[in-house]
Amino acid sequence: MFELPVPGPKFLPALRAVAAAEPPLATHTDINGWVIKLSTAMAKRNMSDLDAKLTLSAYQDGLSDLAACDLAHACVHLLRTSRFMPTVAEIREAAAPLSAVRRYRQGRASMLILRHEREWVAPVDDDETVSAGALTAKALAAHPSKR
């Protein structure tokens, strides 16, 4: 496994924010908008109103767990590269690399937080070492067995 640095306490708030950040999921309005854009730009087939509603419902069910930003990037990519209307699977496939990068960053931030909690030790100054020794000597001298 790769070696991670041990982050100090000043980095923890930023790491916790990255680890907990979840972008909003795509709403039905987002999905509808992208499906309409894709269907407008792609080769068309004749559909009845019922078929169009069922198709839109299938896209909503299949894409509702994607982040809105991932859906938008995937659809823009597919608008530029596809000749025909992409399926739900093709849209999900185009969105996968984008969400993988975000999950990697969140996982790395979580590992750094864990590393801090397990291994971080506050640095000790030479003055603190001397004062700790003096405190220990005073405590031992005040012990009843030393009187």
Q: Cα–Cα distances in Å, from 109 out to 4, 15, 22, 103?
A: 10, 5, 13, 10
For residues 32 and 60, is the Cβ–Cβ distance under 8 A?
yes
Angle CA 11–101–119, to nearest 5: 35
Token output for 25: 């999921």
pLDDT tens, 81-121? 998 899 999 999 999 998 999 999 999 999 989 888 888 88
Only one residue has tokens 């990519």, namely 77
Q: What is the pLDDT of residue 140?
A: 67
Query: Given a cut of 90, is residue 67 above it in pLDDT?
Result: yes
Q: What is the pLDDT of residue 1?
A: 47
For residues 38 and 79, is the Cβ–Cβ distance under 8 A?
yes
How long, in residues, is the chain? 147
Kindly tell me the burial class for residue 16, based on how many C-beta atoms sit within 10 Å of its own C-beta (0-12, 13-18, 19 or more). Answer: middle
State pTM to two decimals.
0.70
Query: Given a cut of 80, is residue 78 above it in pLDDT?
Result: yes
Q: 68-81 and 28-41 helices cross at what angle (nearest 10)? A: 0
